[in-house]
Amino acid sequence: MNALLLAVAALAQAAPAAEKPRTPTEIIAQAPASAWKAIPADDLLVVELRTGGRVTIQLAPEFAPVHVANIRSLARGKWWDGAAIYRVQENYVVQWGNNESDKPLPAGVVAKPPAEYARPQAGLPVTPLGYADPYAAGAGFAHGWPVSLYADGQASLAHCYAAVGVGRDLSPDTGTGGELYAVIGHSPRHLDRNIALVGRVIEGIEHFTTLPRGTQALGFYKEEAQHVPLARARLSGSDDRFQYLDTSSPSFAAYVKARANRQDSFFIRPAGGVDLCNAPVPVRRVPKS
């Protein structure tokens, strides 16, 4: 055996066994406690169906402060007590509120909020997605949210699956927040920068997605008897505590990379890329200590 071969053999012996890349699930499970950020109770809206189903929505005050303040006032003012889901459009949205009723807005609700469809990127701690985006100059994550990034320096929340937005009529109406919708289909990002997004469903979305589809135009239910009644929607008490994975953390960067390059044993050809809405920001209940 010549010297070179000996050297190569020694090298092979010294090299550690190739480490199996971690799956996205493993990365989330192994993320340190410091990578998780608490979601304030005031940022949690719990929608209760009269059937008992509970849907928890995380609000995004960093992106739509006036609309989020409205939603808090609406919840405290019992706006959604006795309200209903009146629209379920296949591959699109579920929508609820007091559509076309003359129920007065609770105290503190701004009747004509500004168009909080985008905000400056300046001041946002943006982690770029790292892959091409078909809709905007770029895409990334900030404060735990998926964002579309525009060439004019603006950023908007992105209409990903489970995103929650504010129903409105034609512009300049922006909606009060009293009528809300959640995305239940392929992410309709053509709506970005055209509606105020205010949050996302983080638990219980199956109570929305399994509802019968409305048969009228835009998925509205034909008969009022088909409406799905809500018991109420309230800001969370201290019992429901959730955390999201800090989108500025190394764990989150590793998670996105693993989503884009799936190495789980099922996969044969990793894509080498991922779209903004196919790397959902991990959210969990606070582990019991």
- Within the chain, residue ranges assigned H as helices are 3-14, 24-30, 65-76, 206-209, 250-260
How near is the Cβ of 8 to a second copy at its closest, in Å?
A: 29
Question: What's the min distance (Å) between Cβ of 273 and a second copy?
Answer: 4
| Positions in 44-103 near a second copy (CB under 8 A) | 90-91
Between 97 and 116, how does the x/- string for binding to a second copy read (CB under 8 A)?
Answer: ------------------x-
What Rg, from alpha-carbon coordinates, does the chain have? Answer: 22
In the chain, % helix, strand, coil (3-state, to 5) comes to 20, 25, 50
Using the 8-state DSSP alphabet, how is residue 190 labeled? Answer: G
Please pick, from the candidates 117, 181, 221, 252, the single residue that binds a second copy as defined by CB under 8 A.
117
Give CA–CA dist 158/63, Å, rounded: 11
Nearer to a second copy, 79 or 221 (CB): 221
Task: Assess 220 for contact with a second copy (CB under 8 A).
Answer: no
Segment interacting with a second copy (CB under 8 A) among 36-44, 64-72, 238-246, 270-278: 270-278
Contact status, residue 118 vs residue 261, Cβ threshold 8 Å: no
279 residue type, one letter: A
Q: How far is the CB of 196 from a second copy (least distance, A)?
A: 12
Q: Report d(CA 33, CA 285) in Å as an integer.
A: 13
Point out which residues bind a second copy (CB under 8 A): 90-91, 115, 117, 129, 131-136, 160-162, 170-171, 185-190, 192-194, 205-206, 209-213, 259-260, 262, 265-278
